[in-house]
Structure 1
Amino acid sequence: MTQENQNNGPDDWATLDELLDNLNGDSFQDWYRERQYRQNIENGTPYFNNPGDIPEPERHSPSSLLQCQRKISYRQYNAAAEQSDPQGIFWFGTRFEEDLASSFLECAVTATGTYVRNTDWIDFKIDTDVGEIQIKGATDPLIVDCDSTPILPTEIKTKSSIENIDSPNRHHRAQFHAYLVGLSEKYEIDLTEGVLMYVSRDSLDAKFFHIQFDSEFWDQVVLAWAADHTEYRLRRQLPPPEPEYDWECKFCSYQHRCGQASTGYEATHLHGFLPDFEYPREKIVSYLEANPEMRIPPTLAIQHPDLADRFDVYNWQCRVCGESFRLEDVSDQSDSLGSPNCPTCASDGIPATLHDPRIDEQIRISTPTNVMEVEQ
């Protein structure tokens, strides 16, 4: 025991109440985010810690191909997400791939002269009707030869259940086609086959699908999607909501902003917070860090007073008399989403509540960059 520790008496020790106070959801989330931040630096990928980076209109990620054009635009421009990321699902996927899938491929699949490589990067450009586009991303494990040249790439997807899966998802086929094209170009080979693996997070049951390159699907579906998305970006227009599958809107982090939920919001801009809407704390922070010209609405500032000290706050607005009030000038506020009464209207005997400014007003006040029009 060091001299310093020897000098620490019972008065310096943490109390049971302090220990219990530190065991809460916010402290765990803060610790996990800090852990991810540090790991990104240690893994040589510090750019994952910079949510404000907006990709060029011509650049596409394999995993985004054939997804809803509007959802991808919201994500690319760092719109405020309405749900927390499914970190548990992400964590399981990473652990399964690194701890089980790679070992399975190495021990039960490879033969003499073949090996398992954890991942490979693809980065290629291709001509389309709107000009040259770029597709860049990282693969899942690959079976390679002794020169580390790919022989059989794999893509691993984890799901809560695989019972009803009888064919590959079109998103995943598109992603796999991008890997086949990118690896073929990188190694100057003709790579046309791979395996898509689905595994259940509950039971660890697995299903495998043999993927063969389909030039018609690649040219007429995948590249056409990528060209359309690039064109929307170049025209600075927000694409229409056109998900590949009906269930996508239900799980989308922007369903309220997009107007696809039953909350009365309509499709609107990329920027700003939906008025009187409850966002996850970490998404408030990530949005404001990526868009420093924007402010936090008063309802969210009341819920998260520490963020009100860190970021500028919009004024309350009354939609009856039109007046606005600073957060600190309104007394009857609580930490719920219940709106306080308008002081001016109350003095006139008129029942009226205060609200967050509408998104158009937030944009007028803050003048953010990259404002896009909604495609009608």
Structure 2
Amino acid sequence: MGKPELRSRPGEAEDKGTSPRTLVERLQESTFGNWYRDREYAENIREGRPYFNGPPKVQPVSRHSPSRLLQCHRRSWYNHLNSAEEDGLPQGIFWFGTRFEEDLIMPFLSDTVTNKETYACNSLWVDYTVDTDHGEIRIKGETDPVIVDEDSVPLLLLEVKTKQSVDGLSEPNQHHRAQLHAYMYGLCEKYDTDLERAAIVYGSRSTLETEVFEVEFDQAFWEDTVLQWAADQTKYRTYGALPPAEPEHDWECKFCSYRERCGRGDREYSDSGPVGLLPIFSDYPRQSVVEYLDSHPDSKLTPTLAHNHPSLVENYGAYDWSCSACEARYSWNAIDPPSSSHAPRCPECRENGEKGWLSGPTPDEQLRIEGGEDVQ
């Protein structure tokens, strides 16, 4: 049975703006991602947080976010220095997590957990410093829901996380335990209270089932693991030393936005520094490229990315292709882009029977170019 054709209504020719075919065409031409980013941009201004709309800033070396504690040191170091992310942000997961917390968990807490003397609070801020053997560190962040008393003094801190499934969960993630410890310590200091227990609520994005774990403040874990991690990360940042790629769990590499730069991906990169775009890598999301270039005003698009995003060339410029075997250089649009992750052959070397490959400048060479040094 064939598909029915879209039939014109009487007067459709005169009213193209309301015809089904025109509406479908308008829907097809619209880009949901662009609409969503514009919506977030406007909402940030409306909510008084326009700083979220600009390129991210490099924070002081001693400042740490509770949500990033105990991550792979190299991943955290790249993130701190605003390296270009190789994957787009999981906006769908973020959106679901926010809706799950605000539309379901908050009403659930108010209806079933609190009573006439307790209340469910959306979030509380912590901002404090701790002295360590490696110097002072600062921890700043915003909690998930907190059960408070009538004076807004916290009674029970919660951390809400969503997962594809909660089946088989037997204990909370160490990252999440560390996050709760950072919040508990900060809230105790801020409100001069003893907050020794918290809870992690894991929610399934497919079934909405939940799994709850109680977390007790562990002084040894806090000092020997969490604060030691923060102190070590501060040291890496201070001295600009590339940290080891030693994640606690193997799955961190799979979901890491810097796995190619690090050397844990599918291409032949390894141990790259934080600055610069990988020369042949073509999978950077457009938004990631724009944010990186805005954060590094002297940077340009690699030739590969210039082919992927030609509309950005006018604003940001593009590096030339250069040959690995001879001194030949070509404009980004003079050479067809590679069809895979392999570099294109140098035309001059091909004519001379030599093996030369074209590439944009390496991250280290890009850094030298930005510093005013010409790279041949």
Q: TM-score, normalised by structure 2?
A: 0.89
Given candidates 323, 345, 349, the residue that maps to 1:345 is: 349
Residue 10 of structure 1: how far off its partner (Å):
4.7
Partner of 2:331: 326
Q: Aligned pair in 2 of structure 1 residues 351, 68: CA closer, same or farther (>3 Å)?
A: closer
* 1:257-268 alignment, distance < 5 Å: 257-268=261-272
Partner of 2:79: helix, strand, or coil? Answer: helix
In 1: Cα distance, 2:35 partner to 2:361 partner: 33
Q: Aligned pair in 2 of structure 1 residues 11, 308: CA closer, same or farther (>3 Å)?
A: farther
Residue 351 of structure 1: how far off its partner (Å):
5.7
Residue 320 of structure 1: how far off its partner (Å):
2.0
- 2:241 aligned with 1:233, yes or no? no
* 1:30-45 alignment, distance < 5 Å: 30-45=34-49
Partner of 2:300: 295
Residue 22 of structure 1: how far off its partner (Å):
5.7
- 2:217 aligned with 1:213, yes or no? yes
Partner of 1:66: 70
In 1: Cα distance, 2:65 partner to 2:145 partner: 18
* 1:361-376 alignment, distance < 5 Å: 361-367=365-371
Partner of 1:316: 321
Given candidates 182, 187, 194, the residue that maps to 1:190 is: 194
Residue 244 of structure 1: how far off its partner (Å):
1.5
Residue 274 of structure 1: how far off its partner (Å):
1.2
In 2: Cα distance, 1:312 partner to 1:274 partner: 16
* Bigger mean CA deviation after superposition, 70-79 or 342-351: 342-351
* 1:66-145 alignment, distance < 5 Å: 66-145=70-149
In 2: Cα distance, 1:264 partner to 1:335 partner: 15
Q: Which 5+ residue runs of structure 2 have no aligned equivalent?
A: 1-12
Partner of 2:138: helix, strand, or coil? Answer: strand
1:333/1:339 contact within 8 Å kept = no
Residue 42 of structure 1: how far off its partner (Å):
1.9
In 1: Cα distance, 2:355 partner to 2:23 partner: 44
In 2: Cα distance, 1:258 partner to 1:334 partner: 24
* Bigger mean CA deviation after superposition, 194-203 or 343-352: 343-352
- The percent of aligned pairs where both chains have the same amino acid is 46
Residue 347 of structure 1: how far off its partner (Å):
4.3
Q: Which amino acid aligns with 1:177?
A: H
Residue 334 of structure 1: how far off its partner (Å):
4.9
Residue 23 of structure 1: how far off its partner (Å):
2.6
2:123/2:143 contact within 8 Å kept = yes
1:51/1:78 contact within 8 Å kept = no
Partner of 1:155: helix, strand, or coil? Answer: strand
Q: Aligned pair in 2 of structure 1 residues 311, 12: CA closer, same or farther (>3 Å)?
A: farther
CA RMSD in angstroms, aligned pairs only: 2.2
Residue 277 of structure 1: how far off its partner (Å):
0.7
In 2: Cα distance, 1:228 partner to 1:142 partner: 30
Q: Which amino acid aligns with 1:300?
A: L
In 2: Cα distance, 1:307 partner to 1:268 partner: 25
In 2: Cα distance, 1:191 partner to 1:311 partner: 51
Aligned residues: 357
1:294/1:366 contact within 8 Å kept = yes
Q: Which 5+ residue runs of structure 1 have no aligned equivalent?
A: 1-8, 369-376
Residue 346 of structure 1: how far off its partner (Å):
4.1
Residue 268 of structure 1: how far off its partner (Å):
1.0
Q: Aligned pair in 2 of structure 1 residues 165, 353: CA closer, same or farther (>3 Å)?
A: same
Q: Aligned pair in 2 of structure 1 residues 29, 141: CA closer, same or farther (>3 Å)?
A: same
4+ runs deviating over 3 angstroms: 9-19, 334-341, 346-353
1:65/1:225 contact within 8 Å kept = yes
Residue 20 of structure 1: how far off its partner (Å):
2.6
Given candidates 154, 168, 171, the residue that maps to 2:172 is: 168
1:303/1:335 contact within 8 Å kept = no
Q: How far does the alpha carbon of each residue in 1:353-376 deviate from its partner, in whole angstroms, 9 at most, with x for none?
A: 4222222222221239xxxxxxxx
